[in-house]
Amino acid sequence: MRSWRRRLYLVRSDRKVTGHQPEKSLRRKIRQLTYKHPTSFWAKLVVETHWRFYHLLLFFATLTGYIPVHSVRLLLYRSVFRVDIPKDSVIYWRCRFFAPSGVHIGHHSIVGNDAFLDGRAGIHIGDNVNIGSQVLIYTMEHDINSPTFGVVAGPVVIGNMVYIGARVTILPEVRIGSGAVVASGAVVTKDVEPWTVVGGVPAKFIKQRPELSYRLDTSSKKAFFQ
């Protein structure tokens, strides 16, 4: 499939994939144009411009992750890239995104350094969640059984007081219940029950975790160069 045709397909199928938020007027007009005149010069130009701007946005979001000041990074994530994150939560440096506006983070939560957050189909992180370094959260992937190697997608929902260890990979359409713990290096392919500990590839039940109530102290974790 030609590059512009593939991009046109992704733009036209974006509503079906992400369909969690109301469309904005500009995006709706782009869809109307591409549906009515899919092979016209203007449709191809709009699709190419859309994707170039999107990739440029991701580039600047990546650069923002290298700013060694929490308050500046948080300001840019919230105001420019539209990450839904309160001021009492923390994203450590060198985080990378797909669709940063699809990432929603609750209060007093921490995302470790070098994380990857794929917000294309929506990531919802609860309160008092501790996410370790180099964690990968995907909301879209290719269907290896599809004759066209098509894309499948689904949101990732992480409940309150979840602890996700370093280098965990979470795949699309997974729900991790409140209070659950995911051991380092695990690959989560299915839902995780609340207050359980899971680990391994793929992640499997290890033991129960006692039900607790706490609030993470994020005020002391905003040092420079982190």
From 71, 201, 213, select the one nearest 128 (Cα to Cα): 213
Question: How, if at all, do strands 196-199 and 181-182 pair?
Answer: parallel
Burial label for 141, CB within 10 Å (0-12, 13-18, 19+), is middle
Starting at the edge strand that comes first in sequence, how are the strands of the sheet with 181-182 ordered? 90-91, 110-111, 130-131, 163-164, 181-182, 196-199, 204-208
Backbone angles phi, psi at 187, to 5 degrees: -120, 115
Q: Is 110 helix (H, G, I), strand (E, B) or coil?
A: strand
The question of whether 142 is a catalytic residue gets the answer yes
Give CA–CA dist 162/137, Å, rounded.
14
Give CA–CA dist 113/225, Å, rounded.
11
How many other CB atoms are found less than 10 A from the CB of residue 9? 17
Burial label for 183, CB within 10 Å (0-12, 13-18, 19+), is middle
Residues classed as catalytic: 142
